[in-house]
Amino acid sequence: MRKPIIAGNWKMNKTPAEAAQLVTELAPLVADASCDVVVCTPAVNFAAVAEAIKGTNIKLGAQNMHWKESGAYTGELSAAMLKACGVEYVVLGHSERRQYFGETDATVNLRTVAAVKAGLTPIVCVGEKKEEREAGYTNALVVYQTLIALTGLTAEEVAKKVVIAYEPVWAIGTGLTATDEQANETIGVIREGIRSVYGDAADEVRIQYGGSMNPKNAKGLMAQPEIDGGLIGGASLKAEDFSKVVGFDK
């Protein structure tokens, strides 16, 4: 039985004071959640959020990390730095990182392996653009992205220490979303791709959907057998909205 995981990706939003206020409002609303609850915040908010979530069931996540332990990588953060700030999860390979900041499948793999080896749980993002879906490349693309990202990990690490987030690029920040069935089908394809290399680990790895999940569509998406959670963008920036996604089963 895979435990669902709902993670908020705040992107470039919230000052430390705003971040602390948000999680303070959120905590009592999700205290009885049946899923893991994560907030992935800009790095400037780590200290404020870490303090505000003490004693709660909310976990702290980052939005990126470098694969090296240290060095001349201006503007980057290492796994050790994240862990020292109380971070437990890290989003890797988000389409916005790929589109705007030159992330590639190869660098996502380096980051993913480094995160796992350091004891962080990576949330590895994969997904297709609109033109790629229309051309019929979705299944091949998402399996390729996933398997490249996981290269170098053992089956046990894949099963227990990685989260995959399927995010159709055409549904991020657009208000568009895949149908429940489309999302479930593609996540099933990803799972079978993992099975082809890692065997039964595919039954344990958690795979989220991340294309504009919100309070209105969360229940239907989460009812699908292959979908194990959500990576939530805009709806994670308001405590009430995010809590309703977390409470999809109520």
In a domain, 249, yes or no: no
Rounded Cα gap, residues 107 and 96, in angstroms: 14
Range of the domain at 58: 5-243
In a domain, 177, yes or no: yes
Whether 94 is catalytic is: yes
Residue 199 maps to which CATH number? Answer: 3.20.20.70
Pick the catalytic residue: 103, 128, 157, 167?
Answer: 167
In a domain, 158, yes or no: yes
Q: Which two tokens stand for residue 175?
A: 């208000």
Rounded Cα gap, residues 89 and 60, in angstroms: 7
The DSSP code sequence of the chain is -PPPEEEEE--S---HHHHHHHHHHHHHHSTT-SSEEEEE--GGGHHHHHHHTTTSSEEEEES---SSSSSS-TT---HHHHHHTT--EEEES-HHHHHHH---HHHHHHHHHHHHHHT-EEEEEE---HHHHHTT-HHHHHHHHHHHHHTT--HHHHHHH-EEEE--GGGSSSS----HHHHHHHHHHHHHHHHHHHGGGGGTSEEEE-SS--TTTHHHHHTSTT--EEEESGGGGSHHHHHHHHTTT-
In a domain, 248, yes or no: no
Whether 204 is catalytic is: no
In a domain, 110, yes or no: yes
Backbone angles phi, psi at 58, to 5 degrees: -90, 135
In a domain, 124, yes or no: yes
Pick the catalytic residue: 66, 94, 128, 157?
Answer: 94
In a domain, 161, yes or no: yes
Tens digit of each residue's pLDDT, the chain (250 residues): 899 999 999 999 999 999 999 999 999 999 999 999 999 999 999 999 999 999 999 999 999 999 999 999 999 999 999 999 999 999 999 999 999 999 999 999 999 999 999 999 999 999 999 899 989 999 999 999 999 999 999 999 999 999 999 999 888 777 777 899 999 999 999 999 999 999 999 999 999 999 889 999 999 999 999 999 999 999 999 999 999 999 999 9
Q: Are 53 and 82 in contact (CB under 8 A)?
A: no
How much is the pLDDT for 117? 98
In a domain, 162, yes or no: yes
Number of domains making up the chain: 1
How much is the pLDDT for 175? 72
